[in-house]
Structure 1
Amino acid sequence: MLMYSSGYSSDMRMCDLVCDRYPVLQVMSRFGIALGFGDKTIAEVCAENKVDTETFLAVVGMSVNRSGGVELSGAVAVRSLLSYLHNSHSYFLGFRLPAIRRKLIGAVDCSLSDVSFAIMRYFDEYAAEVDRHMAYEEKSVFPYVEALLAGEKKADYSIDVFRRQHDQVEARLHELKNIIIKYYPSGGTNELNGVLYDIFTCEEELASHNAVENELFIPAVERLAADGPGEARQEPLSAREREIIVCVVKGLTNKEIADCLCISTHTVITHRRNIASKLQIHSAAGLTIYAIVNKLVELSEIKDSISDTSA
């Protein structure tokens, strides 16, 4: 069972995590995890969406505590984190900033106030700056990391270059927020207050994005550059998955496993699919060997089922 300082574990239900910390919805969307997962655990939902569970929990932990990322960076899968950051760029550039701009246009009247015109210009310059920053990552940083994952090391680039050039893109948004609060002419509307609320939220989201890059992504890439891609890490089994393996090697059918563990047959099938994906073992005989080697069962416990199968 994976457990982080945030207090969340891989065996926790994903729906409980979302209800406890609703900002996790943003983390889920950037990993490509959709709603509708029922009562499945975090590990089950991640496995179904081909997301590394440890990476997901590390990012969640950072969004909760905003600290400890460097310590967690050794546990993350760089490819999963790369996908997360790419989707984050799409979110900010394709949705979040354009949505704020549309609301800002509705809240300030540029024809009536020079301040309004200046605010819109400031925002457009800021959005262009964010676009340049993220375009650099897409064109220079991410291809470098993809090459590292493929076992190629480019001598003409280093992640340290990115570290030195990594501007805090939320800083100017903080400045814009203060300008509107302090200097926009009196008679502000609900629309303007609503835009300010969105700017506050976006500032926090960008700060979290930068923290993930600084404390998770950069250290993980440095480790990848030093050690090479190595072998793909096998995602650990959940406690429930280990229980199901024991039932399988004892010869129980899916229906019997469901009755024994008080879950549905559909859930058993989903667990077995996840087990096969994690272990790359698709037969009961293979699971039997795995269970014995990993001391999930004793040989004496499964002799009868082996005899029955042989007969």
Structure 2
Amino acid sequence: MKSYKIDGTHEVIFSRDMTIAELLDTDYHLLSILERLGIELPFGDMTVGQMCDRYGMSSALFLQICRIYATSDEEVSTDELRTEDLTTLIKFLRSSHHYYLDVILPRIEAGIESVLQYCDLRQQLLLRRFYTDYEAEVREHLQYEDDTMFPYLEALVSGKQPEPEMIEHYLDNHTDICEKIDDMKSIIIKYLPERCSIHQRCDLLYDVYAMREDLARHTLLETDLMAPLALMAHKR
């Protein structure tokens, strides 16, 4: 069984037999996965396999999501997954959308508003417009998935056979919403006035980095797990 590097040094094997406590000790950020899947603590000494059985989800899918979020390894495999796993995956992706729209984006917006007082008028207009444009782009991207892509996949799982070209069109037109957040990060690091509080600047950057990192993993789930499973379902 393959081991994965955590923080570049510590190696861990993700398995059904590890306890939830052991899983979270590898990377506390994995708490967000439990939250997005509606999984409640505490677990005592329950194993990953027992937890997945209780919640009716595939441990192979759950562990694959954990590997993507806890390691830098981008080798994603669907070998142990089934088309039925799309149901749990869609639930996770939808919950991630709520996190972006209802939690992290409002925090970033509040952080930007807190630093604008230190900026001149030109900087204020630039940063506010940049954020507004980025938020609109993210909302449009996520709304398409919520309103079009996910219902299409749910129909597929239920046994219907919608147009197979849909998933290919999705992949061909799947935009990268990480690029602009990199630009926002650069603006905050390089161009905010020195009189801007270091605490406010760092708090804002923590949120920007967190969203950038989460979006990158979210994209990997969509392109390397969701899309292959959808294509697999079409071939049933």
Shorter-normalised TM-score: what interval? 0.7 to 0.9
The one-character-per-residue Cα deviations of 1:141-170 (angstroms, maximum 9, x if unpaired) are 111111111111123852011101111111
The aligned residue for residue 50 of structure 1 is 56
The aligned residue for residue 188 of structure 1 is 196
Distance change >3 Å, CA 223–CA 182, structure 1 → 2: same
Contact map agreement 1:66 1:211 (CA 8 A) in 2: no
Q: Does 1:25 find its partner at 2:31?
A: yes
Contact map agreement 2:19 2:46 (CA 8 A) in 1: yes
Amino acid at match of 1:34: E
Which structure's relative contact order is higher, taking Cα pairs within 8 Å and 6+ residues apart?
2
The one-character-per-residue Cα deviations of 1:37-87 (angstroms, maximum 9, x if unpaired) are 122111122222333211100111122234121x23651511111111111
The aligned residue for residue 130 of structure 2 is 122
| Structure 1: runs of 5+ lacking an equivalent | 228-311
Contact map agreement 1:18 1:25 (CA 8 A) in 2: yes
Q: Distance in 2 between matches of 1:4 and 1:34?
A: 28
Pick aligned residue for 2:167 from 137, 159, 171: 159
Distance change >3 Å, CA 137–CA 5, structure 1 → 2: farther
The one-character-per-residue Cα deviations of 1:180-232 (angstroms, maximum 9, x if unpaired) are 212222222111221012111210111011111111111111111122xxxxx
The aligned residue for residue 208 of structure 1 is 217
The aligned residue for residue 273 of structure 1 is none
Percent of residue pairs identical: 28
Pick aligned residue for 1:140 from 121, 142, 148: 148
Q: Distance in 2 between matches of 1:15 and 1:61?
A: 16
Contact map agreement 2:107 2:207 (CA 8 A) in 1: no
The aligned residue for residue 139 of structure 2 is 131
Q: Distance in 2 between matches of 1:74 and 1:65?
A: 20
The aligned residue for residue 14 of structure 1 is 20
Distance change >3 Å, CA 5–CA 65, structure 1 → 2: farther
Q: Distance in 2 between matches of 1:220 and 1:158?
A: 13
Amino acid at match of 2:208: I
Distance change >3 Å, CA 185–CA 140, structure 1 → 2: same
Contact map agreement 1:5 1:61 (CA 8 A) in 2: no
Amino acid at match of 1:210: T
Aligned length: 224
Distance change >3 Å, CA 55–CA 223, structure 1 → 2: same
Q: Does 1:178 find its partner at 2:186?
A: yes
The aligned residue for residue 282 of structure 1 is none
Q: Distance in 1 between matches of 2:146 and 2:81?
A: 24
Q: Quote how far apart the aligned CAs of 1:107 are.
A: 2.4
Q: Find the structure with the greater CA-based Rg.
A: 1
Q: Distance in 1 between matches of 2:202 and 2:75?
A: 34
Contact map agreement 2:178 2:212 (CA 8 A) in 1: yes
The one-character-per-residue Cα deviations of 1:237-284 (angstroms, maximum 9, x if unpaired) are xxxxxxxxxxxxxxxxxxxxxxxxxxxxxxxxxxxxxxxxxxxxxxxx
Q: Distance in 2 between matches of 1:4 and 1:159?
A: 30
